[in-house]
Chains A and B, each alone.
Chain A
Amino acid sequence: MAEIARPRRRFRWTTGLIVGIVMMSIMVLTAILAPMFLTEAAEKLTPQASQGPSPEHWLGTDDFGRDVLARSLVATRLTLLMTAATTAIAVVAGIAIGTAVWLAPRRIRAAVLRVIEAAVAYPSLIFSLLIAAILGQGTWSAVLAISIASIPAFARLTANMAASISQRNYVSTARLLGVSGPHIITRHLLPNMAEPLLVLTATVFATTLIDLSSLSFIGLGVQNPEYDFGRLLNEGLVNIYSQPLQAVMPSIMITITGLSAMLIGDGLAAATDPRGGRKFGSLRKASEVPASLRADAEALVEVDNLTVTTPSGLPLVKGVSLSIHAGEVVGLVGESGSGKSLTAMSIAGLLPEELGVSAKTMRLGELNLLKKNNPRELATSIGLVYQDPGTSFNPALRIGSQLTEVSRVHLGQSRGTAFGRMIKALADIRITQPEKRMKQHPHELSGGMLQRAMIASTLVTDPRLIIADEPTTALDVTVQADVLRQFRTINREMGTAMLFISHDIGVVQALCDKVIVMNGGKILERLTGEELAAGKVKHPYTKALLAATPSIAERKAELVTVSAKDFALDEVFDDDPATGGHVTTSRTVEETAK
């Protein structure tokens, strides 16, 4: 949510990442130390062949009397070196190709991308088999084979990331300024891809490890007398029935190595994911803070002393009380971060679950919105319209099935009935070819049409309250007028109560009976539509909001910028009868915060 002030992305240490790094460090230490001390035990041929475990040979000996445990430990060095070399070749070549392609002329780029795409689709094991066969059997040909086979996938991924970055403005600017190609790569592309590339590298390390050992396993990789984990498993698995322990150690070693690389990859991904690391607070609950007299028991909607807090206890909405009477349109105005959307979504019960909600009362008619309610009742009583019709429709489903979802699920209507009613509703708001629209997908319709269809669909259940959260913000000015007209018609003809949220005081002024101005999670001022129209506002913040609204009639007025810091926001022009005056301090807020 935009409302939450988030600290700059911090590196988060997760359990997995720590475990992965510890395991990998152990493997690296083994790779360094084991060959120093154990080479003789691992490679000297002795007459004690194929023995079981004993005090000298904890895991027994192989066919040539060599210590199985020592061999497994010594093999770590070659395995890690091969895997690291393979990963390095694949990553460096992949990044080079993937970024260079974006500096190439368009035609060459298209051709290279096609080739890469074709190569990615090809089974890479077969490809590396062929390369290994051409290069001959052996350690370094296996390294080359696997790395060459891994290059296309890595190049593809890099090219994709580079594609999105090279379309950004700063890259275009750099190009226009004549910055050289290599410089663009090192200065602009690579730094911006560093994090995902690091994660990818860890993943490639894990897959490479397995691919290399597979090649050794089928006899095309490391050859005698050298040995890596794959080679040991090749020998060990043959003897699995007579000498099961021979395969155990290399299996464990290879699994630990692969797992640690994966955990590091996962951990890096999680550590840099801005969405991660949330905590969860409580759900809705009733607060015991005394009721403010602002709320009205007669009203259709009554919200008394609503607070919304983050899991860390930071209050976002600080004691908001409002009421909406039947047939009334209430506007909630304020800039982004003022808490207006959070207030509306609390009433709708659709806040992100980690936010804690409490209030003395929050009800719609006799529905207690602080409790879990019958889904049917909620769905049919509250109609919801969101800000951006481009994202609030499901891109994968047809319009018709989305618009009739509530009728079919909650009103038990058949598909035919629900569609028929919806088509009629669409025709009523003069949407052309409603039958065809119902069968289309959201991306085929304009934003304005989608928004009007969404509004129309909220009406088929005859809701008691419509909550519209910035319904015109994402639309063109001309379309905005259509949508506002539609809301006004609904209110006039059907008498549905509305809570209308906007940052645009002009839009609210045109539509609402009552206007509530919010900032910093608090209500600053309550006005009637007439007062607002007449400019009878008291709070300097509201005045500034009004002045900042460009109006054609007042073109000459100088443009005002609004900054909440300019005003004493604790001074609230909320003429609450409880205090009997204009100015109250944020008493309830402080109490709630405790």
Chain B
Amino acid sequence: MTEPTMLSKEVQILESTAPGATKRPRGGALSLSPWADYAFRRAGGVLLSVVLLVVVTFFMVPLIPGDPAVAVAGADATTEQIEAIRNSLGLNDPLYVQFISYVGGLFTGDLGESFAYSTSVSQIIATKLPFTAELAVLGIILVLLVSVPAGMLVGILTRGGRKKWLDVSFGMLTGFFQAVPQYVVSTMLVVVFAIILKVLPAAGAASLSALILPVIGLSIAPICSIARVVRRETSTVLEQDYLRTARGWRLPSVRLYARHALPNLLTTALTLAGLILAGMLGGAIIVENVFNWPGLGREIVTAIVNKDYPVIQGIILVLGFLAIVLNLLVDVILGLIDPRTLGGKSNG
């Protein structure tokens, strides 16, 4: 890769997260299989990320101004009542004591008790996460199903500077949908499909059809950004020597593109999709707000308003942990598609 091909933020993110880009094989490790080496190399990174996540969230969250005890006790509570609540919540213990007991709890899956409701944080997350996950998983499936074929098709049709009009209109269209904020798109979807056409429910998570609008609202911008990346990668792959080799075999177009070009695009598309899925799990806040969807995003906004530290910490931890796991999962899938990404011998 030469530098002029590194052109957009998306591609940049991809190229930087492409496994093997920054990691160098550790010399001297006895090599059982590429996978064993790989697992060994990754384990340390994953562990470090988790530790970092726990420490940062624990110490950042209490920086939110305002006294959670006041929030729990209510505006007209007396100073004694508030002090009693502070004691019972453990807020008067030194910070390191609170940290140790929190970390201790983590090992047993205990994320603490919500200040605002008398339920455990894990309970709250367990009821809210499925709603968010449902949106995010369906969203990413939709994103991949639409953006990869669309991006490839445009990349093939405009290869080497052909069909300028298509290139321009594709750029305009995808740019437009990336520029419209998610909450505007979502509101427009509600207005058109729920209010005017009355074909889909406007809000809530009562039925399966209630999923359609939030999923679309969540997916439109990522579809555009991945489609752009896939398009750009397609035009790069189509100029590679190995594609000339495949052309020399005079393969039918479908086989040429699906078998010989697609696997080389997937590395980029999937790396980005992993980041976007992690972002969707956390970033569904907006869509959940518009559609009144009972997921984690709305819960964390409520928790921030209520100064409900354990809930905020719990949600941040769970989302961060999911992001780390997803990253790892994407890398493993990439390793299966293209073993070079496991690092080691070839680095480009």
Residue positions of A touching B, CB distance < 8 A: 14-16, 113-115, 117-118, 120-126, 129-130, 133-134, 136, 153, 156-157, 159-161, 163-165, 192-193, 195-196, 199-200, 203-204, 206-207, 210, 213-214, 217-218, 230, 233, 237, 240-241, 244, 247, 251, 254-259, 261-263, 265-266, 269, 272-280, 348, 350, 352-354, 375-376, 378-379, 382, 384, 386, 388, 391-397, 402, 405-406, 409-410, 441, 443-444
Contacts and interface: CB of A to CB of B under 8 A. Distances in A.
B180 A258 contact: yes
Contacts of A206: 178-179
Most chain A C-beta atoms within 10 Å of own C-beta, residue among B1, B22, B60, B278: B22
Interface stretch (B84-92, B103-111, B235-243): B235-243
Interface stretch (B120-128, B211-219, B245-253): B245-253
Contact of B241 (A118, A122, A161, A392): A392
Nearest to B241: A391
Given A121-B49, A130-B61, A392-B244, A255 B176 contact: yes
Interface in B6-28: 6-10, 12-13, 15-17, 21-22
A409 B247 CA distance: 13
B306 to A, nearest CB: 11
B198 interface: no
Contact of A129 (B168, B255, B304, B346): B304
Given A123-B278, A125-B282, A348 B248 contact: yes
A160 B60 contact: no
Contacts of B15: 160
B179 A210 contact: yes
Contact of A214 (B175, B183, B250): B183
A499 B12 CA distance: 42
Given A122-B53, A196-B6, A443-B340, 20 more contacts: A14-B168, A16-B171, A117-B22, A120-B17, A120-B275, A122-B320, A123-B282, A134-B63, A165-B3, A203-B8, A237-B184, A237-B187, A256-B179, A259-B176, A262-B175, A275-B235, A384-B245, A391-B240, A395-B338, A410-B249
Nearest to B191: A240
Given A15-B168, A134-B64, A160 B160 contact: no
A129 B300 contact: yes
Interface in B33-77: 45, 48-49, 52-53, 60-61, 63-65
A196 B3 contact: yes
A292 B64 CA distance: 87
Contacts of B162: 280
B166 interface: no
Nearest to B221: A210
B294 interface: no
Contacts of B327: 121
B16 A156 contact: yes
Contacts of A405: 246, 249, 251
Interface string B155-168: 00000111000001
A200 B9 contact: yes
Interface string B322-345: 011011000000000111100001
B214 to A, nearest CB: 16
Nearest to A279: B161
Given A122-B323, A218-B285, A114 B161 contact: no
Contacts of A354: 160-161
12 contacts: A121-B326, A122-B278, A122-B320, A126-B282, A130-B61, A196-B4, A214-B182, A230-B181, A254-B180, A255-B176, A273-B4, A394-B263
A278 B161 contact: yes
A441 B242 CA distance: 13
Given A156-B13, A241-B195, A386 B251 contact: no
Given A200-B8, A263-B172, A121 B275 contact: yes
Contacts of A247: 184, 187
Nearest to B340: A443
A163 B275 CA distance: 22
Contacts of B339: 441, 443
A193 B60 CA distance: 34
A379 B247 CA distance: 9
A446 to B, nearest CB: 11
**Chain B: number of interface residues, binned into ranges:** 35 or more
B263 to A, nearest CB: 4
Contact of A121 (B65, B267, B324): B324
Nearest to A274: B4
Contacts of A263: 171-172, 175
Contacts of A113: 22
A255 B180 contact: yes
Contacts of B179: 206, 210, 254-259, 261-262
A125 B312 CA distance: 14
Contact of A217 (B191, B251, B275, B286): B286
A275 B187 contact: no
Interface of B: 1, 3-10, 12-13, 15-17, 21-22, 45, 48-49, 52-53, 60-61, 63-65, 160-162, 168, 171-172, 175-176, 178-184, 187, 191, 195, 235, 239-252, 255, 259-260, 263-264, 267, 275, 278-279, 281-283, 285-286, 289, 300-301, 304, 312, 315-316, 319-320, 323-324, 326-327, 337-340, 345-346
Give the interface centre of B10, B171, B250, B300 by most chain A CB atoms within 10 Å.
Answer: B250
Contact of B255 (A120, A125, A251, A409): A409
A66 to B, nearest CB: 21
Contacts of A126: 282-283, 285, 300, 315-316, 319
A375 B249 CA distance: 8
Given A375-B252, A396-B338, A444 B345 contact: yes
Contacts of B250: 375-376, 378-379, 410
A196 to B, nearest CB: 5
A563 B196 CA distance: 76
Contacts of B242: 391-395
Nearest to B307: A133
A519 B175 CA distance: 48
Contacts of B320: 122
B343 to A, nearest CB: 11
Contacts of B249: 379, 405-406, 409-410
B110 to A, nearest CB: 22
Nearest to A384: B248
Contacts of A233: 181, 183-184
Nearest to A199: B7
Contact of B340 (A159, A196, A395): A395
Contacts of B176: 255, 259
Contact of A251 (B17, B172, B184): B184
Contacts of A115: 52
A261 B178 CA distance: 11
A396 B263 contact: yes
B74 to A, nearest CB: 21
Contacts of B323: 121-123
Contacts of B279: 123-125
Given A129-B304, A214-B181, A384-B248, A273 B16 contact: no
Given A396-B264, A405-B249, A262 B184 contact: no
B183 A397 contact: no
Contacts of B184: 233, 237, 247, 251, 254-255
B9 A207 contact: yes
Contacts of B178: 206, 258, 262
B18 to A, nearest CB: 10
Contacts of B161: 276-280, 354
A15 B164 CA distance: 10
Contacts of B63: 134
* The 6 nearest A-B residue pairs measured at CB: A123-B282, A258-B179, A375-B250, A396-B263, A278-B161, A269-B7
B52 A392 contact: no
Contacts of B243: 394
Contact of B245 (A256, A378, A393): A393
Interface centre among A192, A376, A379, A397 (most CB of B within 10 A): A397
